[in-house]
C-alpha cells in the first residue's frame, strides 16, 4: 500500500512539473508572438511599397487568426 501511495505521489509531482513547464513555454510563446506582431506593425507602418505592405498585412492576419484559434 505504501509503495502504491509513493508511486501516486511521484506521478502527481511529475504531472505538476510538466504542467508548470507547459505554462512557462506557453507564456514564452505568447511573448514571442506579441514581439513579432509589434515588429510587423512597425514594418507595415514604415513600408512604402504596397505589395510589401500587403505581404506584411497577410502575416499579421495569420498571427491574429492563430491567436483567435488558441482562445477558442
B/e letters for 21-42, b = 16+ CB within 10 Å, e = fewer, are eeeeeeeeeeeeeeeeeeebee
Q: What is the pTM of this model?
A: 0.70
For residue 54, pLDDT beyond 80 = yes
pLDDT, position 71:
74
pLDDT, position 59:
95
For residue 72, pLDDT beyond 80 = no
Percent of the chain with pLDDT over 90: 72
At 43, which helix (H) or strand (E)? helix 2-46
Rounded to the nearest integer, the mean pLDDT of the chain is 92
Q: What is the count of structural domains for the chain?
A: 1
pLDDT, position 67:
86
Domain that holds residue 32: 2-71
Amino acid at each position: 500500500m505504501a509503495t502504491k501511495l509513493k508511486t501516486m505521489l511521484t506521478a502527481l509531482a511529475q504531472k505538476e512539473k510538466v504542467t508548470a513547464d507547459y505554462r512557462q513555454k506557453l507564456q514564452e510563446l505568447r511573448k514571442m508572438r506579441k514581439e513579432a506582431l509589434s515588429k510587423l506593425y512597425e514594418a507595415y507602418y514604415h513600408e512604402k511599397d504596397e505589395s510589401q505592405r500587403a505581404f506584411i498585412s497577410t502575416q499579421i492576419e495569420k498571427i491574429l487568426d492563430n491567436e483567435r484559434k488558441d482562445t477558442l
